[in-house]
Amino acid sequence: MGPADVMYELAGIRKVFDGGDVALDDVSLAVGRGERVAFVGPSGAGKTTLFRILNLTLRPTAGTLRVGGIDVAGLSGIALRALRRQVGTVYQQHNLVGRLRVVHNVLAGHLGRWPTARALLSLAWPQHVASAGEALARVGIAEKLYARTDTLSGGQQQRVAIARVLVQGPDVILGDEPVSSVDPSLAAGIVRLLRDIAEATGKTLLMNLHSVDLALEFFPRIVGVRQGRIAFDLPPGKVTPELLATLYAGATAEEGAVPGSDGVLPTSRVCRPVPGLK
C-alpha cells in the first residue's frame, strides 16, 4: 500500500494506565482505506483500549499513530476534533437517549459539526430530517423515524446507533463489540449490515468481536490480540484451531474463550474448544 492508500498506521503503540497496568505493548499494523478487519481475543486482551486509541479518545503512552496520513501526536483543539469526526464508533451499549424520538438520536450524528444554537434548536424542531430518514432506510427501519427510542427492541436500537454513525459521515466505522448486547439470533444480521454498508460506501470497517465465528464469516482479515500484543494477522482461511487455542488459552467461556455467535463454546466447528475448558 502507498501512503495515500493507508487509513491507519500504528508503529510501536504502547499504552500504560495509572498504576502501571500495561494495556498495549508494541502494537504495529497498517489498515488500508476501505479495508475490513476483525479483531478477536479474550476479554482483557486490550482490544477496547486499542479501539479507543483508533477513535482518538485515548492517547497512546508511546509509539506513532497516523490516521489518513496525519500524525495525531501533535493534534489538539479544532484539528483533533475534525479528525475525530472522520471516525464513527458503534459501541456495545447503544448510548441512545431512550425518552427521545429516534429522529433526535440519529441527528446527534451531526453534533460534531453543528453550532450549539442549531443543536439546541434541533431538540425542539429536528433539523435536516431527510438525512436521518435516509440513514434509517439504509439500516432497514425507516418507519421508526418518529418512534420513541425506548420502545424499540435491542436490535432496532443498535440499528439506530448505526444510523447515527452514517449521519456523521465518517471515513472509518469502528465496531467495539457492537453485537454483544443484542440477541445472538440478530448478531449476524447486524454484522452483515455493517459489512454491506462499508462495502457499498467504501468506508474502512474495523470490528472488535466476541464471536470468532462472525469474524471468520464476514471479514477477509483477522487480527488476534492477546495480552496487549498482536498474536496474528491473517486471512480467515489461515486462522487455524491451533492458533485460536493458543490465543484463548487460559480463558473461561465467560471471558471469551473461542465463543461462537451464540456465546457458547463450539464443539464441532472450526473454533474448537480450548483444551482443558469445560
Q: If you average pLDDT over residues 200-227, what whole number do you get?
A: 96
**Cα(first)–Cα(last) distance of the chain, in Å?**
44
User: Is pLDDT of 92 > 90?
Assistant: no
pLDDT tens figures, 160-170: 999 999 999 99
pLDDT tens figures, 39-48: 999 999 999 9
pLDDT bucket at 234, cuts 50 / 70 / 90: very high
- Angle, vertex CA 49, rays to CA 47 and CA 54, nearest 5: 90
Q: 64-73, 171-180, 258-267: which range is least confident on average?
A: 258-267
Quote the cell numbers at residue 226: 492477546
pLDDT tens figures, 190-206: 999 999 999 999 999 99
Task: Write the CA distances from 254 to 210, 251, 263, 277, integer angstroms.
Answer: 10, 8, 8, 11
Domain ranges of the chain: 1-86+172-278, 90-169
Sort 20 into a burial class: Cβ within 10 Å, 0-12 / 13-18 / 19+. exposed
Task: Decide which of 271 and 107 is more confident.
Answer: 107
Topology of domain 1-86+172-278, per CATH? Rossmann fold (3.40.50)
User: Is pLDDT of 79 > 60?
Assistant: yes
Which pLDDT belongs to residue 111?
78
Helices 129-138 + 154-168 axis angle, to 10? 130
Q: If you average pLDDT over residues 65-79, what whole number do you get?
A: 93
User: Is pLDDT of 278 > 80?
Assistant: no
CA dihedral sign, ordered 171, 176, 177, 178? negative
User: Is pLDDT of 119 > 90?
Assistant: no
